[in-house]
Amino acid sequence: MESGFLITDHSTKQGGVPRLLRNVGRGLLLGFFSLSILSTSFGQPAPSKPNKRPQGEFLVDTIEVGKPFSYSFSFLHDPATEVFFPDSVFDFSPFEMIGQEYFTTRTDSLGSLDSTIYRLVSFDVASLQVLRLPVFVYADKDCTAVYAAPDTLWLRSPLPVTTRPDTLKLRDQTKVGMLQRTFNYPIFLLFIGSLGLLFLLVYWFFGREIDRQWRVFLLRRQHSDFVRAFNRFNRNARERNNTSEAEKAVVVWKQYLEDVEKKPFATYTTREIIDNIPDETLEGALKDIDRIIYGQGKSQQMDASLQTLKNVAQRVYRRHRLDIMRPTR
Reported pTM: 0.42
Q: What does the pLDDT look like over 137-194, one tens digit per residue?
A: 998 778 899 999 999 999 987 766 666 667 767 777 778 778 888 888 999 999 999 9
Q: Cα(131)–Cα(52) distance, rounded to whole angstroms?
A: 19
**Residue 252: C-alpha distances to residues 212, 238, 261, 321 (Å):** 26, 16, 14, 20
> How much of the chain exceeds pLDDT 70, in percent?
79
Given a contact cutoff of 8 angstroms between Cβ atoms, the answer to whether 147 and 134 are in contact is: yes
- 16 has a pLDDT exceeding 80: no
Q: Binning pLDDT at 50, 70 and 90, where does residue 329 land?
A: low
Q: How far is CA 219 from the centre of its chain?
A: 48
Average pLDDT over residues 79-83: 90
Domains, the chain, with CATH or none: 55-155 (2.60.40), 207-325 (no CATH)
